[in-house]
Structure 1
Amino acid sequence: MRRPLAAIALFAAIGWSAGSLAEQPPALSPAKTAAAANLVDIRTLVPDIAEDIKYAGHDNFVGVPVDGYRAPKCFLLRPVAEALARVEHELRAQHLRLKLWDCYRPARAVANFVRWAHDLNDQRTKPRHYPALDKSKLLDGYIATVSGHSRGSTADLTVERCATDGTRCEPLDMGTDFDFFDVRAHTDAPGITPQQRANRQLLRGAMERGGFRNYPMEWWHYTFTPEPTPHTIYDVPVQ
């Protein structure tokens, strides 16, 4: 079966070779809108959920807004958004809340990350995001050429503790910032304090009860299981 030229071009842009295509890479959805992809804005379910969508602005490891992010919004496949809303409501009973940094990620954004990773002259964000790592190593486990985020089932997030009236929320101390490329960001990393470990375990426990699985190299990264579309990626802009 022949692949559409647009799909082949996209996979080439994000690092798939002809050999990789022969190994059945994920299919690129033809959906052109969020509705067609069954992607929903989490705020249609939890209107006041805390968000700081990093890739829509400059405060991220690339240092500029990323391709495909036209608005600071969190989209997820509907079953995943509904599961995340349940986690949020459970946490609120404990005066805790989620804070979202990234959710569905367009395939073109992943291609943007890969281009940036290959540009070894751009070291602007090294002090904050990868101080102990050579940039040439970022594609070895930190930046994927095809991201699970593009399947619409993964979110990057943390937990905030709020006052009893639901105001004045402050993020729990997790030991590193978001997108900190270092072993200290591994969920079970040695060297973090007992409180930081407890905070990570609190997040993991809440997310696992909601049906989400953690990526061990990133304490903030959770994927709903089973994924609704495990072999499909999307390139619908976030807008």
Structure 2
Amino acid sequence: MGMPRLAAALRGLAVTAATLVCVAALPSGAQAQQPQGNPASGQASPTKDPKAPKEFVALRDVDPTIRQEIRYYTPHNFMGVPVTGYEKPMCLLTRDAANALHRAQVSFLKKGYTLKVYDCYRPQRAVNHFVEWAKDLDDQRMKGEFYPQVDKSTLFQDGYIAEKSGHSRGSTVDLTLAKLPALPTRPYVPGEPLHPCYGPQDDRFPDNSLDMGTGFDCFDTLAHTLDPRVKGEQRKNRLLLKAGLEKAGFVNYEYEWWHYTFQPETFPDTYFDFPISRRSLAGRH
């Protein structure tokens, strides 16, 4: 066949192969939202990218008072680069989870606090980006902050990186609490000196949140919610967040003080791959 037809055929085979690999990696009984186009490219296409189902909303439309600091839209994360699929710095969630966060926020506001989300729905293409990064043992630019005591080669076996994430189902959120009034956290400057995420609060990267004992996404056992070494004010702050969210229907992941999932999940067995942008909600609300 001619070169244009041959190139088109090869592109079609590549997309089919990528889709088969994604589906084959799913846990038993789980479903995947079928990506269209190249899910790993990071490039959005209004006609090819999947759309969010009607059950998804932008958190800001449900509760604009909840602070948002979407770390994976920025280079201030354990990879040191913006993550594939985060086209806008916004929090998307299932409506049930967003409504539950609103209930928790109302309670916290009465006590002089506000919730702040770091991450919400996470497309499968972003998880794929994590996996590829974890395999590149030469890229350790952010080790000094996020995993100072962890060998990058063990991130999979230690459970810090996985091929699937509950975030991709839309009812899981990473978040913290800040005391009001809370000034914005200053932007991270790529290349600036790094400090261990488990160090004293004044030594860690500045964050306008309560001191939880470690920073967000700290790959360290001190990040375990009830680690006995975390005491005093830090433990009190973790328990304050935990109690307020549990009252609203969220369940904590015991190995990450910031990680909560609303139960029952709207989509307990589906891993979505639509990009994070207002366009993904277009025509659905």
Is it true that 1:151 corresponds to 2:160 in the alignment? no
The 5-angstrom pairing of residues 66-81 of structure 1 reads: 66-81=83-98
What's 1:142 paired with? Answer: 160
> What displacement does 1:25 show?
5.0
What's 1:161 paired with? Answer: 179
| Runs (5+) with no aligned partner, structure 1 | none
| 1:125-184 superposed Cα distances (whole Å, 9 cap, x missing partner) | 101000000001111211121000000000000001114xxx658411001000100000
What's 1:84 paired with? Answer: 101
Count, aligned residues: 226
Is it true that 1:214 corresponds to 2:252 in the alignment? yes
Find the aligned partners of 2:239 and 2:19 in 1 and give their Cα distance: 37
| 1:56-94 superposed Cα distances (whole Å, 9 cap, x missing partner) | 111111111101000000000111111111111111011
What's 1:12 paired with? Answer: 21
What's 1:182 paired with? Answer: 220
The 4+ residue runs of structure 1 with deviation greater than 4 A are 5-8
**Identity in percent:** 46
Find the aligned partners of 1:213 and 1:168 in 2 and give their Cα distance: 28
What's 1:44 paired with? Answer: 61
> What displacement does 1:8 show?
6.6
> What displacement does 1:12 show?
2.7
Kept after mapping to 2: 8 A contact 1:7/1:28: no
Structure 1 counterpart of 2:216, which letter? Answer: F
Alignment counterpart, residue 27 of structure 1, candidates 26, 31, 35: 31
> What displacement does 1:49 show?
1.8
Secondary structure of 2:93's partner?
strand
Find the aligned partners of 1:50 and 1:82 in 2 and give their Cα distance: 15
Kept after mapping to 2: 8 A contact 1:158/1:220: yes
The 5-angstrom pairing of residues 193-232 of structure 1 reads: 193-232=231-270
Query: For the pair shown, which has the larger CA radius of gyration, 1 or 2?
Result: 2
TM-score (norm 2): 0.75
Find the aligned partners of 1:175 and 1:10 in 2 and give their Cα distance: 41
* Comparing 187-196 and 205-214, the one that deviates more: 187-196
Find the aligned partners of 2:163 and 2:219 in 1 and give their Cα distance: 16
| 1:184-236 superposed Cα distances (whole Å, 9 cap, x missing partner) | 00001122231101100000000100100000110000000111110011101
| Runs (5+) with no aligned partner, structure 2 | 1-13, 35-48, 185-207, 278-285
> What displacement does 1:38 show?
2.2
Secondary structure of 2:235's partner?
helix
Query: What value does the CA root-mean-square deviation take over the aligned residues?
Result: 2.0
> What displacement does 1:44 show?
0.1
Secondary structure of 2:258's partner?
strand
